[in-house]
Amino acid sequence: MTFPRGFKTVTILLMLLIFGCTNSRLKEARNAFLENGDPETAVEILEKEGDGAGLSKLLFHMEKGLLLHQAGRFDESITELRNASALMQVQDYLSISQQTASIVINDWMTEYKGEYCERLWVHTYLMINYLLVHHYEDALVEAKQALSVFNAYPEALTQAYFSMALIGFCHEVMNEFNDAYIIYRRLAEMLPDSSPICRLQQKMGSLSGIDDLPDCDVLKGKKDNSFDRWEKGELILFVGLGFAPVKVPGNIILPPGIRFSFPRYERRSSAGWEITIDRGRHSIPAIAVSTDVQQVAESSLADRAKRIYIKEAARVAAKEVIIREVRKEDEVAGWMTRMAMMAVEEPDTRSWHTLPAINSFLRIPLAPDTYHLTVNIEGRDRRSDDIVLPVFTVKKGERRFFAIRASGTYVSVQGQQEMRRTTE
């Protein structure tokens, strides 16, 4: 390996300046939502970016897509998240120049491809958006895409219960009962306690003509009769709570100035929330499936940790070769190059910041009536929130649903919509 005389340390320092200026609008937009609870302003900020943000273009589409969802602009959110989905399909072909730069500099020099869990969540929010705008066939298409991500990375996504429940639901609303049964059975195997979805698994299996079904009345000693009367209507709630974890740098420094860096997730919100649905003084039973986003994110990152460490070792070795070559020409330049190499050794901490810490999927069977309901949320690190839903009427066999987000001082309720009839 040969290098120009007196290796151009200035180039590396310029790279540092570039990193410091990268995605300033993305940071500004995140702050507008996460700190001020203003998704509309956040979207306006990202609109100034144009068609994307360079090597972080995927992240741009993911953040903008979720912000549009939070603003209730579901059709526009679908467009952005579909852009993210399309980009993910072509990103496996990184350019040679990006790969080379990432070995010499760091992984910020490559196009961000998203963690496995983030790829799943793109399809998850597309499912939610399509259901909100009554495009059930499209929701099912995204459900199948999400399932393909599950199948590709089963160990990394083993705790992504929310997304799996939503996949089953998309099959269910399209009357694909056998496929819904298979998904609910798989979800039951994933969950530490499968009783919340036992009735769903039992019902879908019954509609598919399957005889060997679980006995929900004796499952772990719990009785669940919430779906004994399928002639009821149903309220569907998608609830996002708190702030998702973010990646932060982890470092190991060894003499004589060798820096190993790697990303890790840091929690920003507690996972200890309880959600209840109240009608006056009475709580209403619900089927609830929740995902701790941090647990899934950590599993996803851990699943590719070996490749991160191998690449990091190769980068450190390559940098040592460069430093030695520079020192042959100039001892001082060699020392400066080592300092620059240490400084530029930054782990790729790009991640999807506007996600919630917890995603919960709630299904509440309701008799035909007009409802004034309150969603009560209690958390370990925050006061209780009482979120009053808009008044709505449920007819026999109908579904209505809302998307709720409660994060810090920000609370939103979006999308009162009718869905096709429940299973008779």
The pLDDT score that the predictor gives to residue 410 is 84
> Which of the four pLDDT bands, split at 50, 70 and 90, describes residue 180?
very high
The whole-number average pLDDT for the span 233-238 is: 94
The pLDDT score that the predictor gives to residue 196 is 85
Distance CA 50, CA 83 (A): 13
Local structure of residue 297 (DSSP, 8 states): H
**In the structure encoding, which two tokens stand for residue 206, read together?**
């019954």
CB 166 within 8 A of CB 361: yes
C-alpha distances (whole Å) from 274 to each of 104, 133, 187, 279, 392 are: 48, 28, 21, 17, 24
Residue with tokens 């003084």, as numbered in its chain: 281
Distance CA 392, CA 371 (A): 6
* Phi, psi dihedrals of residue 77, rounded to the nearest 5°: -60, -40
At 288-342, the pLDDT tens digits run 999 999 999 999 999 987 776 666 666 666 666 676 777 777 777 766 766 666 6
> Which of the four pLDDT bands, split at 50, 70 and 90, describes residue 21?
very low
Share of residues in the chain with pLDDT > 70 (%): 75
At 272-297, the pLDDT tens digits run 788 999 987 778 878 899 999 999 99
Distance CA 196, CA 190 (A): 12
* pLDDT tops 90 at residue 253: no
CB burial string 252-280: b at 16+ within 10 A, e below: eeeeeebbbbbbebebbbbbebebebeee
The pLDDT score that the predictor gives to residue 91 is 74
* pLDDT tops 90 at residue 138: yes
The pLDDT score that the predictor gives to residue 314 is 65
Distance CA 369, CA 358 (A): 30
* pLDDT tops 90 at residue 351: yes
Looking at per-residue pLDDT, the higher value among 250 and 395 belongs to: 395
CB 272 within 8 A of CB 358: no
* pLDDT tops 70 at residue 124: yes
pTM of the entire predicted model: 0.84
Sign of the alpha-carbon torsion through 308, 311, 316, 319: negative
227: exposed, middle or buried (Cβ count in 10 Å: 0-12, 13-18, 19+):
buried
Peptide bond connecting 368 to the previous residue in cis, omega within 30 degrees of 0: no
Q: Quote the Cα angle for 232-235-239, to 5°.
A: 155
* pLDDT tops 80 at residue 136: yes
The pLDDT score that the predictor gives to residue 210 is 87
Average predicted confidence (pLDDT) for the chain: 81
Helix (H) and strand (E) counts in the chain:
14, 13
In DSSP notation, 63-76 reads: HHHHHHHHTT-HHH
The answer to which of 2-6, 127-131, 263-267, 324-328 has the lowest mean pLDDT is: 2-6
C-alpha distances (whole Å) from 288 to each of 2, 106, 195, 198 are: 60, 42, 10, 12
At 387-404, the pLDDT tens digits run 999 999 998 888 898 999
At 183-229, the pLDDT tens digits run 999 999 999 999 889 989 999 999 999 888 887 764 444 444 444 44
CB 365 within 8 A of CB 378: no
In DSSP notation, 184-239 reads: HHHHHHHSSS-GGGHHHHHHHHHHTT------TTTGGG----TTS-TTSEEEEEEE
Bridge partner residues of 358 (DSSP): 241, 292
The pLDDT score that the predictor gives to residue 309 is 64
**408: alpha, beta or left? (left if phi > 0; alpha if psi -120 to 50):** left
CB 294 within 8 A of CB 267: yes
**In the structure encoding, which two tokens stand for residue 44, read together?**
């306006």
